Amino acid sequence: MIDKLAFLFVEGIKNFTRNKLTNFLCIVTIFINFTILGTFFVLGYNTDNVVNFLRSKYTFEIFLNSETSLDQAVNLKNELSNNSLVTSVDFIGKEESAKIFYDEFGEDIVEVLGYNPLPTSLKVNLEENGFDANQVNTLIEEYKLNALIDEISYQGNYIDDIESRINLFIFAFLVLVLLVIFISIQIIGNTTNLSLSNRKDFIEILRYNGASNLFIKTPFFIETFLQSLIGSLLAFFLVKYGFVVINSYLGVNIEIDYYLWAWMIVLSLIISIYASGRSMKRILV
């Protein structure tokens, strides 16, 4: 039994080293396809972080006019807090507004102008679950009529547009995955066909000696296994360290799934086994 396994393994290695050009082209193709696929896996993995970040921006800010008293501002805050569309309301006084201005622009507005012109405001945090942009717009339009309110700032429409684009990206990602899988199947299948054609005499000898189809197929499965393993590992290292460089130079924080290497290798092996098995089925009945 051990001798048979050793023979099959050696023949698989021989197949791999014998067809240098075709195997090289197959590895390069797997490398390119899975580099693209791995890149989109990473971007897709970070999509949730982007969406959560955008949803944290589901807020609008109400700027109160200068005549609004503290009691009136608190009553308005409590009224908004009781609305089903709102999760919480933060009161931002003039002093806190000046601190925010200093954090943003590095200047003390009181020292620059001699007084604090910044208004008191309310930061309204909206409910993320079941978010309805139309209801929020209606709420904002209603409060614009309130005499205590000078202005309302809301960027939600832009956020909705960005999320729509993210959903389009996810759809494009799925289409690309299917395309990469299809291309990989075709190329690996063609490589297996070529390898089988080059080994027709060897296959006939094995058949003459009573070898089963599984026994004959095994060296070719080993060949495709090596193609996939090398191509997908190279792609993984490029994707991983490519994003490490991007994070370092651009100062971003793109996270990489710890199991990305496993997903890429396993998917590549599944595709390879399927493609080579389908090709061999046409020849080895």
Angle of helix 133-144 relative to helix 156-198, nearest 10 degrees?
160
For residues 16 and 3, give the distance between their C-alpha atoms in angstroms, rounded to a whole number.
20
DSSP 16-49: HHHSHHHHHHHHHHHHHHHHHHHHHHHHHHHHHH
Q: What is the reported pTM?
A: 0.58
CA dihedral 10, 12, 18, 21 (to 10 degrees): -150
Identify the architecture of domain 58-154 in CATH. Answer: 2-Layer Sandwich (3.30)
Strand partners, 91: 122
Backbone phi, then psi, for 145, in 5-degree steps? -85, -10
Rg of the chain (C-alpha set): 31
Q: How do the domains of the chain map onto residue ranges?
A: 2-53+162-283, 58-154
Distance CA 25, CA 44 (A): 28
Q: Render pLDDT for 135-156 as a digit per residue (tens, 0 to 9).
A: 878 888 888 888 888 888 877 6
For residue range 223-246, what is the model confidence (pLDDT) as tens digits?
888 888 898 999 999 998 888 888
Angle, helix 20-55 to helix 260-283, in steps of 10 degrees: 140
- Write out residues in the chain with pLDDT < 50, as ranges: none
